[in-house]
């Protein structure tokens, strides 16, 4: 294994090679190349930066740049397309035809790299290729103490496979060189949640039991599985979304204040949250989890087929496209506070949000007060990004009729500076060696340790996912899960 030194994170005068395995794939086209263009447009890429896309397509550079010009432009805000910046960005691009499973092909990659460059290897491939790619990079002598590797989720399909990948990657890259990316941690609002909690005094005294009644985290998608059906059917919503995105959001909501913003100080506190999650028994899984699978319906005004009618989905598939569950954190701060996590495909709308429901009034002197939560903090992550604090206020006029109103923090209007997208922000963190917003190995394995008994419980129960119509908010059982605690999902209030 190549070890890194403190100099790794320091600014370097060396040229930079950003190498994307799967460079013509969906993630590269939709997210990575548009993010790198925006970084280029705003002068955040060093002048000596080159972007090497790797793929099995037998292209030369001209064919690849024509592909980029045709496919990538559509994922960039038209207002950001600049007549001078775009051609200059394309000049940074190179293409190497490479089969990641063939060690001999890596000699071509070595010949394409700049002499003495800092190297970022972004593995935008199936996780099954990660270990082989790292081994081939090492065999070709393409890893040094300044090299970094970026690993996309999901990292493994269970605890054992995650450990195996970590072990093999760790033979060639140190932990300080390994960036396990979760793009939700690059969202401005998620990073602002740290400031909301630890940069202000107003919430922290109340950020605990018994002042918080419940926490709910939703990541809802209105789209179906689409072209990802082959991958998705072997993965499901729990592995694809909850094990990483939702648990990482929960960590930021529930963590204790770190002693500093040092990467390990922050990640130490997140790890404590994951290790404090109450393990689920089979009985817990039966009572506190809801699996769903979408059927035909209407989505965004159009007819939508059911999961079984999607291309490349087996007709008898029991893969869940929806999961909701109730979790508990076994520590003093969160004792007896139910945590509700929910994610799904083909839901009513695209929405990611965190809702902190504060405790009910112990007694009200207002007889006409509405029967709903009095105070809620709603943190919207997408499609728009804002923070709302719901409070009760008196309606104008005689009498004492109360109505909920919201104090709004609109982050887009509060700051005039451009807001970088998550992938752009995280890619720039990688180039600068900033690890704070990336998962450490022990975090990943702690998440899998908690999720795996849920997967095993579903297998033992041998129940099919509950059907829900495309364009709905999931199976009715997910609402009943909340109702048992006297709560409701945000859209039901």
Please count the other Cβ atoms lying within 10 Å of the Cβ belonging to residue 137.
24
The reply to whether 245 belongs to the active site is: yes
Check: CB of residue 293 under 8 Å from CB of residue 347.
no
* Predicted TM-score (pTM) of this structure: 0.92
CA 318 to chain centre: 24
94 phi, psi to nearest 5 deg: -140, 160
User: In the numeric block, which tokens belong to residue 211?
Assistant: 């002042």
Catalytic hit among 157, 172, 183, 245: 245
Spell out the per-residue pLDDT of the chain, length 493, in tens.
555 444 444 445 789 999 999 999 999 999 999 999 999 999 999 899 999 999 999 999 999 999 999 999 999 999 999 999 999 999 999 999 999 999 999 999 999 999 999 999 999 998 899 999 999 999 999 999 999 999 998 888 999 999 999 999 999 999 999 999 999 899 888 888 999 999 999 999 999 999 999 999 999 999 999 888 888 999 999 999 999 999 999 999 999 999 999 999 999 999 999 999 999 999 999 999 999 999 999 988 889 999 999 999 999 999 999 999 999 999 999 999 999 999 999 999 999 999 999 998 888 888 777 776 779 999 998 888 889 999 888 888 877 888 888 888 877 777 777 888 899 999 999 999 999 999 999 999 999 999 999 999 999 999 999 999 999 999 999 999 999 998 999 998 8
17 phi, psi to nearest 5 deg: -110, 115
- Tokens 């081939």 appear where? 136
């Amino acid at each position: 294994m190549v070890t890194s030194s403190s100099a790794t994170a320091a600014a370097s005068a060396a040229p930079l090679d950003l190498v994307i395995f799967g460079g013509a794939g969906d993630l590269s086209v939709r997210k990575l190349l548009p993010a790198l263009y925006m970084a280029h447009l705003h002068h955040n890429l060093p002048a000596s930066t080159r972007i090497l896309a790797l793929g099995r397509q037998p292209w030369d550079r001209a064919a690849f740049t024509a592909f980029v010009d045709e496919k990538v432009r559509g994922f960039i805000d038209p207002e950001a397309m600049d007549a001078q910046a775009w051609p200059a960005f394309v000049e940074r691009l190179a293409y190497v035809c490479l089969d990641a499973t063939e060690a001999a092909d890596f000699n071509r990659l070595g010949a394409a790299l700049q002499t003495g460059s800092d190297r970022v290897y972004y593995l935008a491939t199936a996780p099954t290729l990660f270990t082989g790619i790292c081994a081939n990079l090492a065999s070709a002598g393409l890893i040094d103490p300044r090299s970094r590797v970026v690993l996309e989720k999901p990292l493994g399909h269970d605890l054992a496979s995650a450990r195996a990948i970590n072990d093999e990657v760790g033979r060639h890259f140190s932990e300080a060189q390994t960036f396990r990316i979760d793009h939700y941690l690059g969202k401005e609002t998620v990073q602002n949640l740290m400031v909301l909690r630890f940069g202000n005094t107003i919430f922290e005294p109340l950020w605990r039991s018994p002042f918080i009644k419940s926490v709910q985290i939703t990541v809802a998608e209105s789209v179906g599985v689409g072209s990802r059906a082959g991958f998705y059917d072997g993965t499901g919503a729990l592995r694809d979304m909850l094990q990483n995105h939702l648990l990482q959001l929960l960590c930021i909501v529930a963590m204790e204040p770190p002693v500093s913003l040092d990467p390990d100080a922050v990640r130490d506190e997140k790890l404590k949250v994951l290790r404090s999650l109450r393990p689920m028994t089979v009985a817990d899984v039966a009572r506190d989890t809801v699996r769903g699978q979408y059927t035909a319906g209407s989505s965004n005004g159009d007819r939508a087929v059911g999961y079984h009618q999607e291309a490349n989905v087996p007709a008898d598939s029991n893969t869940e496209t929806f999961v909701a569950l109730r979790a508990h954190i076994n520590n003093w701060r969160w004792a007896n506070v139910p945590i509700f996590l929910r994610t799904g495909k083909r839901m009513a709308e695209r929405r990611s949000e965190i809702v902190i429901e504060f405790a009910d009034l112990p007694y009200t002197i207002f007889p006409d007060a509405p029967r709903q939560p009095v105070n809620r903090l709603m943190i919207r992550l997408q499609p728009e990004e804002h923070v709302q604090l719901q409070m009760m206020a008196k309606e104008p006029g005689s009498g004492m009729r109360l109505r909920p109103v919201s104090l709004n923090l609109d982050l887009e209007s509060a700051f005039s500076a451009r807001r970088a997208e998550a992938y752009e922000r995280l890619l720039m963190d990688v180039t600068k060696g900033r690890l704070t917003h990336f998962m450490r190995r022990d975090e990943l394995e702690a998440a899998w340790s908690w999720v795996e008994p849920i997967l095993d419980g579903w297998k033992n129960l041998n129940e099919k996912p509950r059907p829900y119509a495309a364009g709905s908010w999931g199976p009715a059982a997910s609402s009943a899960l909340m109702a048992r605690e006297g709560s409701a999902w945000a859209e039901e209030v």
